[in-house]
Amino acid sequence: MANNTFGARTEPPFLLLERPEAYSTTRTFGHRLRDVAVLFKLRLASLVVVSAVFGYLVGIPAGAFDLNSMVILIIAGTILTGASNALNQVLEVREDTLMRRTAERPLVRGTLSTSEAVWAAFIAGGLGTFLLWSTFGPLTGILGFISLFMYVALYTPFKKRSSWAVFVGAFPGAFPPMLGYVAATGHFDLGAGLLFAMQFMWQFPHFWAIAWVLDEDYARAGYRLLPSAGGRDGRSAFLILLYTLFLIPAGMLPWVFGLVGPWAMAVALIMGVVMLVPALVLWNKKEIPAARRLMFASFMYLPLVQLAYVLDRI
């Protein structure tokens, strides 16, 4: 194993977590705060919160926009997502030591203890749920808590057992725009369901493209997240293409039911085609570069389509 903060050791980093003496006594509060920010994966959390904000802006009635409420939604969404990420890493620290992409996480390096991570996650999760409940009502608070629970208690352990974990994880992954919409309206209606449906369907080609690119790294930890047991094979490529096709009408559903206008529908259609092209190439060639292009196309699809929904409503 590579050297860590505490000098050269031969033990896997996760064994250090079980020994209090493995932690440096010279690390300051600022160091630990930075480690908590890494543990919470704040860059990823910010992308999740953007979806919630767009859902809020789609749902807010004309003239009812409240900047203070939106700021609270951003803060609550960020720390709730961070709590989910932190608990995920607590449960998967042994697997994280085996993958290159996770080798620098604080629990793997031993710069945070398990107890510190758990306390940070519970405080953030509790505060985030309280902020949503007290500001927007019980329904929003419950949705936030359910999202955290499903991600940590269902998706995280299921990843070690079956590729169906992607389906399970798509539910909490699609909560942000729905939660933002419910925070704005105070109730669940068709609009909330339509925003949920689009983001739910988007996650399959998005995550499978990532899983295709990182298949060897996931395999080191025992994860098989592509839809076919054969991994990077024709069946996986076909299912990625199929779900990319499903995404196109899912992105147009808000226009079909009158939530947004034709301009937003056109953006959803164009961005769906932008994702479809690399999905077709992947199906044909079954190569990593095509999966990587699909992955980047999916990163563009979600914010641009949701922004189009917002602008069309305005």
pLDDT tens-digit profile, the chain (314 residues)? 333 333 333 334 333 334 333 444 456 777 788 898 899 998 888 888 999 999 999 999 887 888 999 999 999 999 999 999 999 999 999 999 999 989 999 999 999 999 999 999 999 999 999 999 999 999 999 999 999 999 999 998 888 888 889 999 999 999 999 999 999 999 999 999 999 999 999 999 999 999 999 999 999 988 889 999 899 999 999 999 999 999 999 999 999 999 999 999 999 999 999 999 999 999 999 999 999 999 999 999 999 999 999 999 87
Q: What is the spatial distance between Cα 280 and Cα 282, in angstroms, rounded to a whole number?
A: 5
Give the CA angle between residues 255, 183, 169 to the nearest 5°.
Answer: 75
* Cα-based distances in Å from 250 to 60, 65, 106, 196, 197: 22, 27, 38, 10, 7
**What is the Cα–Cα distance from 181 to 280, expressed in whole angstroms?**
33
Domain ranges for the chain: 12-188, 189-314
Distances (CA, A) of 3 to 12, 89, 301: 10, 20, 40
pTM comes to: 0.88
Helices (H), ranges, 92-137: 93-96, 106-109, 114-136
User: For the domain 12-188, what is the CATH code?
Assistant: 1.10.357.140
